Amino acid sequence: MSAAYFVTGTDTEVGKTTIAAGLLYAARLAGLSTAAAKPVASGCQLTAEGLRNDDALALLAQCSVPLRYEEVNPKAFAPAIAPHLAARDEGVRLDVAELGAAVRAIVDKGADFTLVEGAGGWRVPLTGNATLSDLACALQLPVILVVGVRLGCINHAVLTADAIVADGLPLAGWVANVVDPRTARLQDNLGTLNERLAAPCIGQVPYLPSASPDRVAAYLDLSRLIL
């Protein structure tokens, strides 16, 4: 097996990294080698080694292929704001070709299972008219959609899935990640998502106060992913 996927979400704060780390853990548990990339990250902390992002570090911790932080997260910004705004403030251009080359270098390491995590949702801006979806299209990677299950998630999920398919990429699978434990009619909402999303559900992750990769992995089924 050698497969790579782009991970996007229905919005920001829907648990993309939580699910991505769980998927990587599940892959390692299955005996697969793993690699990951978080090409753009804002909300980074300044350390002795430079800017570091918690999400990128969480992904790096689940990589069995030796990688440097700068390989996993080539564009890091301190302010916890939209990446294109953080980049603009620093005079940095978020170029799709440049980001694509950095990600391709990770994919080309040949891990059995590689994940590329976006930032926010599918249409998050980069520089000019470019968005993170343009990066996914340039890489031609199938997409895993993380649905943050809460009020309004059905509309966000269907719109995002439609946009992915309209951009010419396959929706390889989706994960229901319950981010609001008080979501009314939870099972009915999950049933509607299953009906409306034309891709396999690879996991329904309940609300977990401590969502460690091993706990999340228990709710995921990699075998359902479309290659």
Q: What is the distance between the alpha carbons of residues 105 and 201, in angstroms, rounded to a whole number?
A: 29
The token pair at 79 is 């302010």
135 in a labelled binding site: no
109 in a labelled binding site: no
The contacts of residue 29 (CB under 8 Å, 6+ apart) are 217
State the Rg of the chain over Cα. 16
160 in a labelled binding site: no
91 in a labelled binding site: no
117 in a labelled binding site: yes
55 in a labelled binding site: yes
38 catalytic residue (yes or no): yes
C-beta contacts of 156-163 below 8 A and 24+ residues apart: 156/10, 156/11, 156/121, 157/10, 157/193, 157/196, 157/197, 158/196, 158/197, 160/8, 160/9, 160/10, 160/121, 160/122, 161/197, 161/198, 161/199, 163/122, 163/123, 163/133
192 in a labelled binding site: no
131 in a labelled binding site: no
Residue of 28, 38, 84, 156 marked active site: 38
16 in a labelled binding site: yes
115 membership: H or E segment, kind and range: strand 113-121
Annotated binding residues for Mg(2+), written as ranges, equal 17, 55, 117
Residues forming the active site:
38
Annotated binding residues, written as ranges, equal 13-18, 42, 55, 117-120, 206-208
Annotated binding residues for substrate, written as ranges, equal 42
Annotated binding residues for ATP, written as ranges, equal 13-18, 55, 117-120, 206-208
